Structure 1
Amino acid sequence: MAVQKRFIAGAICPRCAEMDRIRAWEQNGIRYRDCVSCDFFEQSPIEDDARSELETRVNREREEQRRNAIATVRILDPGSR
């Protein structure tokens, strides 16, 4: 039975930093990823995969928004006890 390899939309290769070049597939309880632009290859057990999310445009933008978020500062009057 042939394994279906699927491209991950928005994923960025950790080695060559190209976007939309990462393929992923599962076989025998192991998840595989590779890049079609360079020689990046990674494998990991499926149960460990829940803690490592692939970097995509979406989660990169969310992280940038979180860092750039404006925090409200509340000034307290020391004499109002």
Structure 2
Amino acid sequence: MAISKRFIAGAVCPRCAAMDRVRTWEQNGIRYRDCVNCDFFEQLPIEEEAASELATRVNRPREEQKRDELQTVKILDPKPSSRDT
């Protein structure tokens, strides 16, 4: 079975700082990354439990989004102007 290696769009190599040169693949429960520009290579175990997703403005609960909605505020001047009298 051939292993499919995929490039990570926008990824920057931690060793040579080249962009769009890092690729990733999985094999036997281990995730690998390498750079085609230099000799960077890394292997990471694949976590079985799902990592919690970072909260963004898109995936927050609706109640939290309502709290952040803009409201119009009218500011009243407590001093009457000379035109009002």
**Which 4+ stretches in 1 moved above 4 angstroms?**
none
Matches of 1:7 and 1:34, distance apart in 2: 9
Q: How many residues align?
A: 50
| Structure 1 residue aligned with 2:26 | 26
Give per-residue Cα distances to partners, 1:9-53, cap 9 Å, x unaligned.
0000000000000000000000000000000000010118x59xx
C-alpha root-mean-square deviation of aligned residues, in Å? 1.7
Structure number having the greater helix percentage: 1
Q: Is residue 39 of structure 1 aligned with residue 44 of structure 2?
A: no
Q: Highest CA radius of gyration, 1 or 2? A: 2
Q: TM-score, normalised by structure 1?
A: 0.58
**Where does residue 62 of structure 1 map in the other structure?**
none
How many Å separate the matches in 2 of 1:28 and 1:41? Answer: 17
Q: Which consecutive residues of structure 2, in runs of 5 or more, have no partner in the other structure?
A: 53-85
Q: Give the structure, 1 or 2, with the largest relative contact order (CA under 8 Å, sep 6 or more).
A: 1
What's the TM-score once normalised by structure 2's chain length? Answer: 0.56
Question: How far apart, in 2, do the equivalents of 1:46 and 1:10 lie?
Answer: 22
What is the rounded CA distance, in whole Å, between the counterparts of 1:8 and 1:46 in structure 2? Answer: 17
Gaps of 5+ in 1: 52-81
